[in-house]
């Protein structure tokens, strides 16, 4: 069992596959993938988010993703691909691992929002 954030990140990165902008855009275009921004609200307000993404701050993810939770967001479905991202890729890796632990089978880490935006990924203001 990991005993430090460094070990937790290494385990999460080993478990959650990365996805690049082009592959993510293809999944989004097909409207199959749920895109989840796990950054805090001030980050979204400052820079926007991936167009169509659902915002769920990292601290609320388990509650929104678990269908048995009174806070469940119906956008989350275990049979739907999920793409997570944050500011640098760390929180999204941890979020992806948590989703896997909750039974989500197809979870990918897009990594850093800034890279998405710089590479021409569609962005919407919050």
In a domain, 34, yes or no: yes
In a domain, 6, yes or no: no
In a domain, 10, yes or no: no
pLDDT over 90 at 34, yes or no: yes
In whole angstroms, how far apart are CA 86 and each of 3, 30, 57, 79?
Answer: 23, 22, 9, 22
Domain with 72 in it: 16-124
In a domain, 62, yes or no: yes
The whole-model pTM stands at: 0.95
Judged by DSSP in three states, 8 sits in helix
In whole angstroms, how far apart are CA 12 and each of 1, 92, 121?
Answer: 12, 9, 25
pLDDT over 80 at 9, yes or no: yes
pLDDT over 80 at 2, yes or no: no
pLDDT over 80 at 1, yes or no: no
In a domain, 111, yes or no: yes
Task: Give the span between the Cα atoms of 83 and 70, in whole angstroms.
Answer: 23
What are the pLDDT digits (tens) for 58-112?
999 999 999 999 999 999 999 999 999 999 999 999 999 999 999 999 999 999 9
Q: CATH no. for residue 36? A: 3.40.250.10
Judged by DSSP in three states, 33 sits in coil
Question: Per the structure, how many domains does the chain have?
Answer: 1
């Amino acid at each position: 069992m990991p005993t430090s954030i460094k070990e937790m990140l290494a385990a999460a990165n080993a478990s959650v596959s990365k996805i690049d902008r082009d592959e993510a855009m293809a999944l989004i275009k097909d409207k199959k993938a749920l895109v989840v921004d796990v950054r805090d609200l001030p980050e979204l307000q400052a820079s926007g988010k991936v167009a169509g993404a659902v915002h769920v701050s990292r601290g609320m993810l388990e509650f929104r993703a678990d269908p048995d939770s009174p806070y469940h967001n119906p956008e989350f479905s275990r049979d739907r691909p999920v793409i997570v991202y944050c500011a640098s890729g760390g929180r999204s890796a941890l979020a992806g691992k948590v989703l896997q632990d909750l039974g989500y089978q197809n979870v990918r880490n897009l990594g850093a929002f800034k890279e998405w935006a710089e590479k021409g990924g569609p962005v919407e203001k919050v």
